[in-house]
Structure 1
Amino acid sequence: MSVLVVEELDDRVVVTLRRPEARNAINAAMVRELHDVCARLEERPRLLLITGEGGTFAAGADIAELRERGRDEALQGINRAVFDRIARLPLPTVAAVDGYALGGGAELAYACDVRLASPAAVFGNPEPGLGILAAAGASWRLRELVGASVAKQVLLAGRRLDADDALRFGLVADIVPADELLKRAHALIDRMARSGALALRLTKLVADGGGHPLTDDLAQAILFESEEKRVRMDAFLAGGRP
């Protein structure tokens, strides 16, 4: 890995974006390396934590590379494809956002299941100012996360959401001091990891699919027949806690 620092643990993978000369802007090398991480997590599902080095999450996509892309590259959905892949990972993903998460950096954060922010976090999508649109997921993910009105303020009027805005609109789960951000993100993942892996996986699958009674019933049918369900419920009935 040249622009990512990847730490693989038994129950999680921690990815740190590291392009200090470009404030962690997302370039082709980072996209390739994120695809590599996704391949590992698809083969062996674990929780994922993504953060940025040096007080910035990711200050956008690499403008020099975008300047040279044309119609064919746009139709390939280069950045969108990897963000979609992250969103589809089997187990939950967490973004720990300190500083700027702009443009493609914001879209990467939007693709994660849960976001934590430092007080310095700033989310925004300034793409129209560069003559393009936020085409790597923001146009619909942000609407789902914060509602149509706020999303249009960000996408059309260039509004940036600071940490307080992001918390108020439900974009982030909590605001955490920068020096505690990773510790709190790991604590959140610890809590997730205590749940049943298959239950987490099917819950994410059902929730991401928009929900449907039949889908819920089918997923629950799988879980009701699992050994883990019996072990966990027996422990609960014996006086344990879930």
Structure 2
Amino acid sequence: MSDERLAVETLDDRVVITLDRPATRNAIDAEMVAELHVVCDQVEKDPKPLLVTGGTEIFAGGADIGQLRERRNVDALAGVNSRVFDRIAALPMPTVAAVAGFALGGGAELAYACDFRIGTPSVRLGNPEGGLGILAAAGASWRLTELVGEPLAKEILLAGRTLNASEALDVRLLNEVVEPDDLLPTANRWIDRMLQNAPLALRMTKLALRMPRSAHPAFDNVAQAVLFETDEKHRRMTAFLDRKSSEALRLAAGRE
């Protein structure tokens, strides 16, 4: 439909979504949020890595200010944006944001919710919500502290600092910076790399990373117990041992 806010491509091993509101700098409105929930439904039922992008020029300039201006306390308490970003962060398989240009306000919070962020030299990340009389309530006020530490988070959230690509890379808010033509290929290579691991091991590891400290090591032991009983673990370890054995035989033959 012409009024859709997302372009969704479902592949055999991943889902790629492109924010598609170029006239508004990909502003995140209620309709886009609803479409993001639909994608989350899909990926929760059929777990695959998720790639989120706005294209090679801009990620998302923020939330839709026209809609935000009209929202009242009941809308804030409903957590319109925070609920969907939390849902993205909790998806069972890894998520990668391919970020170009501005990722501000809600756009930055969407990027923060992903597991990895690949950027271009034009990236500008920040949360200017205070200048609009509100706070960054869709994850930045706590997720950003976890990602970059409290001192820098305060600079961004209280002092209005915007990070360029080099600064974001230095603090690992961006995992890699590449030229625009390489943005999506690089983001897909990150997913390719992760998919070399066993899918269930990926899911268990991501879940372990989200567990509170008090849940460890008990959670790790239970997750490992599940993985120890899988055919995938046995197949992969057998293949590893077979390769080591073959290498040892070749080395021995070379010494004779």
TM-score (norm 2): 0.92
Distance in 1, Cα, partners of 2:185 & 2:56: 16
Residue 239 of structure 1: which of 239, 243, 246 is its match?
Answer: 243
The one of 157, 168, 171 equivalent to 1:169 is 171
* CA displacement, residues 6-41 of structure 1 (integer Å, 9 cap, x when unaligned): 000011000000101100010011000000000000
Deviation at 1:210, TM superposition (A): 3.5
Q: 1 CA distance for matches of 2:56 and 2:221?
A: 45
* Equivalent residues of 2:56, 2:180 under 8 A apart: no
Tell me which of 207, 210, 216 is aligned to 1:208: 210
SS of equivalent residue, structure 2 residue 44: helix
Q: What amino acid sits opposite 1:69 in the alignment?
A: R
Of the candidates 103, 111, 114, which is equivalent to residue 113 of structure 2?
Answer: 111
Give the whole-Å Cα distance in 2 for the aligned partners of 1:209 and 1:135.
22
- Picking from 209, 221, 237, the partner of 1:217 is 221
What per-residue deviation string (whole Å, max 9, x for no partner) do you get for residues 193-224 of structure 1? 11100000000000011451111111111111
Aligned residue number for residue 27 of structure 1: 29
Alignment partners' CA distance in 1, 2:78 and 2:208: 28
- The number of aligned residues is 240
Tell me, in whole angstroms, the C-alpha distance in 2 between the residues paired with 1:156 and 1:170.
Answer: 20
Contact 1:24–1:53 (CA under 8 A) maintained in structure 2: no
* 1:189 corresponds to which of 183, 188, 191: 191
Structure 2 spans left out of the alignment, 5+ residues: 245-256
- From the superposition, tell whether residues 54 and 18 of structure 1 become closer, same or farther in structure 2 (CA, over 3 Å): farther
CA distance in 2, matches of 1:69, 1:143: 27
User: What fraction of aligned residue pairs are identical, expressed as a percent?
Assistant: 59
Deviation per CA, 1:129-188, whole angstroms, max 9, x where unpaired? 000000000000000000000000000000001111111111111111111010001111
- In 1, Cα distance between the equivalents of 2:58 and 2:95? 19
**Aligned 8 A contact 2:29 2:67 in 1:** yes
| 1:81 alignment partner in structure 2 | 83
Partner of 1:69: 71
Output the CA distance in 2 between the equivalents of 1:209 and 1:118.
Answer: 32
Of structures 1 and 2, the larger Rg is shown by 2
Task: Return the TM-score normalized by structure 1.
Answer: 0.97
1:5 alignment partner, SS class: strand
- Tell me, yes or no, if the aligned pair for 2:6 and 2:17 is still in contact at 8 Å: yes
CA deviations 1:44-85 (Å, max 9, x no partner) are 000000000351000000000000000000000000000000
CA contact (8 A) 1:20 1:53 kept: no
Cα distance in structure 1, aligned partners of 2:140 and 2:129:
10
The answer to whether the 8 A contact 2:56-2:183 is kept is no
Q: Show the counterpart of 1:44.
A: 46
Residues 122 and 161, structure 1, Cα contact 8 Å, conserved in 2: yes
**Given that residues 20 and 54 in structure 1 are in contact (C-alpha distance below 8 angstroms), is that contact kept between their aligned partners in structure 2?**
no
1 CA distance for matches of 2:230 and 2:147?
Answer: 32
- The residue identity in structure 1 corresponding to 2:119 is A
1:111 CA displacement: 0.2
RMSD of Structure 2 on Structure 1 (CA): 1.0
